[in-house]
Each structure stands twice: as C-alpha cells, then as structure tokens.
Structure 1
Amino acid sequence: MIFSFSATPEFDFMTYFARHIQATVQNGLLVIPDHIGDGYIRKLVFGPDFKITIHRYVLREDLVIKRQTSGLGNDLITVFFYSNEQALEITFNDEPHVQFSHRDESAIQVTSNDLSSTIRFPAHQLIHYVVVAIKPPRLKDLLAVSEPNSVLQTITGSGNSFLFFESMAAETKLLLKNMAAIDMNDRLSNFYMQIKVQELLYLVFHKLSLRENAAHQTINSADAERLLSIRNEIISDLSVPPVIRELAQVAAMSETKLKQLFKQTFGSTIYNYYQQARMEEAAFLLKQGKHSVGEVGYELGFSNLSHFSRIFEKHYGLNPKRYSYS
C-alpha cells in the first residue's frame, strides 16, 4: 500500500490517511480496518502549533509513505521516533530504499518539513512510531535556552533546512512504551500525554544541545539520501574501516562537504560513527554467547585482541570477557 501526500503547512496526516483506507476518525482515533490490519493511529492536539500522532499497528501488506515537500515554506519541525524491532527503510530522494537501522532498530529523526522522504514499513510486523509536529516559536518557548548552540538555533530559527539523527536511549524507548499503554478514556489523559511528549522532546533536544557548535550547512533531499547511503556503506562491513576518499566518490561530494554534513546530521565523525557501530556489534555478538572474545574481535577486523579489549572497555566500562558474562 502506497500513501503519498504533499506536506503543506495545514496538512493533517490522519484525516487524509483515513480517506485513503476508507476508514473514519472518531475523537482523534483511527482504528485500522480488519481487511487492512490491526491497530490504530491516534492524534492529540496541544494547540494549533503542537501535536503528536501515535502509530501502532500490524498491516497485511507493506506500507510505503511518500512525503513530498509542498514548496510553501518550512515553518514546522517534525520529530520522528521509531522504536520498532524491525528494520526501518527510509529514503529522501525517491531512490531505492536504504535500510536505516542495524542491530538497534530504532532512531530519532528531527527535520524541517521541506525535505521529501519515503519510508517503508514491513507487513506482518508491529509498527510503532511517534511523530511530534511543532512550530519553531512554540519549541523555542518550551526549550527556554538562553544561549542555544548552533543546532538548536538552526532548528528553532526561521526558514532553515535541516536533518538530524539521534540514537534512541533506553530511557526514550521506555517512555514511548509507557505512552502507548495510557488509558485514553481517563479524563486527564490529554494532560498527562502533553507532559510526556514534552519529556520526549527534552530527551532528544538535550542530546542535540550537547553537540559541537559549528556553522550549519544547508541540506536538501538529495544530500540527505546520499548521507543515508554512506551510513549504510559504513555499517555494511564493520571489519573494514571507512576510507573517506572512496565514500566521497560514492556520495558525489567533496571530502570536506561529506565530513561536514555527516557530522552535522549524525552528530559524530565518520570514523567515530563506524567505531561506535563496531562496538555495538561486538556487544551484541558477545551477549549472544555463541562466540568467543577472539572470534568477535577477528570478525570485526581486529588483528590485535588487546587493542580490541581496550577500545571495547572504553565504550562499555568492562572488558569483552567480563561484559559477556554481565
């Protein structure tokens, strides 16, 4: 199933999606019809400039959501929380889909609404994601930061094009899980959810506020697509360190532009991102208990196991052997 729409400032996803699947919306709730799947979409509005949409369902066929920029300005910030256990496929330029997630199938995406995107959700799998839409002045008032860093300035400013990704910490995953379990028949449920949505925003913008101050580089849909392709290239074989020159050729960017945009978008240099993914993979393999420390180290390209142990301990506070038994 394909659902395409143009992201105009007044567009309401749930209303148009309900028409698309011939369903009705009652009191902010869209129940997925039986012939399509099982589950719901819920919208809560906290004012004309602040709302949340919660998606929780299992579908009988793949769902492809194509979001086209309207060209009418970008006065809306979208914060996308994806916490599925299945891989997320996302693209920003209508190219073949790039699998975003790796071992940790979750992500937080903060974007202006002037970037086109396509997201594919797999059939027969629980889909759970949350979209917070808020206008810059409202977010700026909520954050109330006297000296925001360049990232927060860009997001809360006017007319900026941006895309930022953050990993999802356990605290955020637990909060999303608890929000999904709220009894919405409770008279104060809307009030409670507004508090929890602000808590969600705190968690993501706190992390973004810690990023390095740097001049913002404008990004477009084609750049975003290339960056996701490069990210996929980096994590496709974690036994081989990334070579900037080769990645720049793949991205059709200069090395300088690639390094700047990658760090701006993902909050880390290309090599540090690779090293973090490498250690996360090592932790995953060690916890499985099917591989020795030596096997994990060699599989991830370490010829010196002492070096592997030092780097792993730096990331997790325990050496690989102790971690595997923790």
Structure 2
Amino acid sequence: MRIESNLLVNGKCLVKQNIKDGYDDYSLINEETVIVKGQCLEMAKSKQWSTTGLLVLDTEMLFTSRETDHFTIDGECIVMDFMHNNNVTVEIEDLGNPGYTHINTHNIWYASNFSGNYDMPPFEKVCYMVVIMSKEFYRQLFSTAIDLHPEFSINIEQSKSGYLFPKYLPFSPGIQWILQEIRNCQREGIFKRIFLETKIRELLLLQLEMHASSSIAATADLNPSELEKLHEAKAILDTGFVHPPSLMELSRKISLNEFKLKKGFKSCFGDTVRGYIIKLRMNHARKLLKSKMATVSDVAYECGYKDVSHFSAAFKGFHGFSPKKSMNILDITKVMFYGLFFMEF
C-alpha cells in the first residue's frame, strides 16, 4: 500500500508511506513523528507507527486559513477511522460523502485505491487517528470475527467499497480509553507490536458490539439516525451516570422522543435507561470499595447517592451483598491469596 497525505494549500506532504502487503509475525514497529510548517499553518504533527500490512496515524493540525488534506491509499485497505472534531467537510470517491465530521465519532470502511479530500476550517484543531490495514493483515488479525459482520466481509472479498456503519457513531468510553492507551504507549520492539495488535483487536471488538446493536435496532424499527441518537444517549450516561439527566432531559439532548428512547435503548443495549444507570453506578461503587481509599458514605456520594441507606439497598440489590460485606470479602480474598502464596515457600 502506498499512503499519502498532502496539504494542498501549503503544498506540504504530511504522510508518505509505502507499506508492504501481507502479515509478518516477525516484523517490528517502525515509529516516526512528522512535523511540517508552512503558510497559514500553526501546527501539523503526525505520529506514525508502521509494520508489514499496517499503518497507524495519530494526527493533529491547526490552520489560520482553510486547508484541504488530500488523502490517498493505493491498494486494498481496511481502515478504522476515529475522528475527534467537528466541521471537516469530507469528499470521498466510491465510498460516498459523509458530509461533515462530528466530534468523537468512528467507523470502519473498506476501499480499493482510496482517494478523499478533507476540507478543514481555520482556527479549529483537527485531530484524528486511523488504523490502516492491508487485506491480508486484517484477515490474519480478525479471521474469527468475519461471521460478526458478514455483509462487510462479503464487500471485502468482492472488492466493493463500503462502510460497516451507515453513519459514523459516537465514541464509547472504552474506545476513548484505548485510543489514549495507544497514544501513551512507551513499549518498544516486539512488545510494541504485541501491544498495538492487542489494542486494535479491542477497538474492533467494541465497534462490532455497536454493529450488533445496530442489527438489533433494525429489527426494532429504528432507522440509522435514531440508532445514532441512542448511542449518543448511551455515551452521555457512560460519562454522566453520577448525576444523570432525567429521561425527559436525555430525550431533549438527543432530539428523540421519550417513547423511542425507552423502547430503542432497551432493544439496543438490553437494559432500561434507569437499569443501565444503576449498573454503571454499582460497578463504579465496587471499584471504589476495592481501592479501600473511601468509606461507604464516601462511595455513596461518589456514585450520586445523597442517602447512604438508599445506596446500600441498591448495592445489595445489585450485587447480592452489602457494601460493608463487599469490603470484608475483598479482605478475606487477600488473606487467602497471601496465605496460598507463602505456602508455596
């Protein structure tokens, strides 16, 4: 694959990589950072990790006037696309035009000889991460996942360009966390290779779970726009479960009526909105109790409960034992672990 990213106004090349097709267990990760400067260019920086069949790009750009990034890939490729910003106009040959990008959204697409223009507004930081894989690399890494997206797999085999999702979907907290882990990775050599492959698998897992929920949504008479709004609702709850919006407020935030929100959320995610909030709170509470850094009262407050007795009742109803007993169970588990450890000696 030959991959290039050229800034048309500045006449600068940000990415220029020739990646061997295939999959090689023994090839290591090559890492480089490209920084370019030019007219009306505040910043253009691209971290690039490459090996046989794989290129990962983590790019940041800021311009003082409008700029166009002409991005091309010669050869068949599967691309995991993670956009962090709004208002970039996208024009792509063969794949169709997504229009404007939306903040923190993602998709997967297949293309042969990809060519696209990304028109970027001035004074707005543009950030994206893309994982570009050859067909052979993708097959090797995700051979067991083919049955989870049969239509997309058929498109790949028939060399037919297309997206996994009809529209870009919002990041989940899990996706945001993994992207940050990739950015912060300090490993080297074969450990870097193993780490990257593991994180790419994890990203695909999360994307395929969203794909599965979209298939469920189709049977629940939800169109792609409504599905996108439901994922937006889930993302709001994932980060705001301590002080969540009411059902009416959530409905207004995502511009979807309450009936569709309640019915669609249960169909897509297997739980009611209220049930999902309780699950997030109770899982968070268990993590806090494990840390032994807070009292039951502190944990109750950190999970959005003003009354400790209400928190304790909810915790016992969810986990089957009280918060205090949870702390005792953790202490007993530690004693048993250390006891078994020292018995070995």
TM-score bucket (shorter structure): 0.5 to 0.7
1:159 is aligned with what amino acid?
S
Q: Specify the alignment match of 1:12 in structure 2.
A: 3
Contact in 1 for aligned 2:182/2:199 (Cα 8 Å): no
2:179 aligned with 1:176 = yes
Equivalent-residue separation in structure 1 for 2:86 and 2:59 (angstroms): 15
Equivalent-residue separation in structure 1 for 2:245 and 2:107 (angstroms): 31
Contact in 2 for aligned 1:91/1:117 (Cα 8 Å): yes
2:277 aligned with 1:274 = no
Equivalent-residue separation in structure 1 for 2:244 and 2:137 (angstroms): 50
Equivalent-residue separation in structure 2 for 1:152 and 1:96 (angstroms): 18
2:81 aligned with 1:80 = yes
Structure 1: 5+ residue stretches without partners: 1-8, 213-262
Deviations 1:79-101 (A, max 9, x none): 2222x143443233599972242
Q: Specify the alignment match of 1:318 in structure 2.
A: 273
Contact in 2 for aligned 1:137/1:156 (Cα 8 Å): no
Contact in 2 for aligned 1:312/1:318 (Cα 8 Å): no
The TM-score with structure 2 as length reference comes to: 0.54
Cα distance, 1:156 vs structure 2: 5.4
Cα distance, 1:189 vs structure 2: 3.1
Going from structure 1 to structure 2, the CA distance change for 1:291 and 1:20 (only over 3 Å counts) comes to same
Going from structure 1 to structure 2, the CA distance change for 1:143 and 1:155 (only over 3 Å counts) comes to farther
Going from structure 1 to structure 2, the CA distance change for 1:156 and 1:182 (only over 3 Å counts) comes to same
* Bigger RCO (CA 8 Å, 6+ sep): 1
Q: Specify the alignment match of 2:49 in structure 1.
A: 44
Cα distance, 1:55 vs structure 2: 0.9
Equivalent-residue separation in structure 2 for 1:24 and 1:274 (angstroms): 34
Q: Secondary structure at the match of 1:160?
A: coil
What fraction of aligned residue pairs are identical, expressed as a percent? 8
Going from structure 1 to structure 2, the CA distance change for 1:121 and 1:189 (only over 3 Å counts) comes to farther
Q: Specify the alignment match of 2:327 in structure 1.
A: none
Higher relative strand content: 2
Q: Specify the alignment match of 2:201 in structure 1.
A: 202
Equivalent-residue separation in structure 1 for 2:14 and 2:256 (angstroms): 52
Q: Secondary structure at the match of 1:12?
A: strand
Contact in 2 for aligned 1:151/1:208 (Cα 8 Å): no
Cα distance, 1:107 vs structure 2: 1.4
Cα distance, 1:171 vs structure 2: 1.6
Q: Specify the alignment match of 1:141 in structure 2.
A: 140
Deviations 1:105-149 (A, max 9, x none): 321332213454332333333322122222112221222328735
Write out aligned runs for 1:167-316 (5 A). Answer: 167=169, 168-183=171-186, 188-189=187-188, 191-207=190-206, 269=218, 271-279=222-230, 294=248, 297=251, 300=255, 302=257, 307=259, 310-311=262-263, 314=266
1:41 is aligned with what amino acid?
S
Going from structure 1 to structure 2, the CA distance change for 1:133 and 1:23 (only over 3 Å counts) comes to closer
Write out aligned runs for 1:159-170 (5 A). Answer: 159-165=159-165, 167=169, 168-170=171-173
Equivalent-residue separation in structure 1 for 2:11 and 2:133 (angstroms): 25
Equivalent-residue separation in structure 1 for 2:15 and 2:163 (angstroms): 33
2:263 is aligned with what amino acid?
I
Equivalent-residue separation in structure 2 for 1:271 and 1:40 (angstroms): 40
Q: Secondary structure at the match of 2:132?
A: strand
Equivalent-residue separation in structure 2 for 1:141 and 1:97 (angstroms): 29
Going from structure 1 to structure 2, the CA distance change for 1:202 and 1:278 (only over 3 Å counts) comes to same
Going from structure 1 to structure 2, the CA distance change for 1:151 and 1:181 (only over 3 Å counts) comes to same
Cα distance, 1:38 vs structure 2: 2.4
Q: Specify the alignment match of 2:298 in structure 1.
A: none
Contact in 2 for aligned 1:114/1:161 (Cα 8 Å): no
RMSD of the alignment, in Å? Answer: 4.7
Going from structure 1 to structure 2, the CA distance change for 1:297 and 1:163 (only over 3 Å counts) comes to closer
Contact in 2 for aligned 1:77/1:155 (Cα 8 Å): no
Going from structure 1 to structure 2, the CA distance change for 1:46 and 1:155 (only over 3 Å counts) comes to farther
Write out aligned runs for 1:22-101 (5 A). Answer: 28-33=32-37, 36-47=41-52, 49-67=53-71, 74-82=75-83, 84-92=84-92, 98-101=99-102
Structure with the greater alpha carbon radius of gyration: 2
The number of aligned residues is 250
1:311 is aligned with what amino acid?
K
Contact in 2 for aligned 1:43/1:52 (Cα 8 Å): yes
Structure 2: 5+ residue stretches without partners: 17-29, 279-302, 305-345
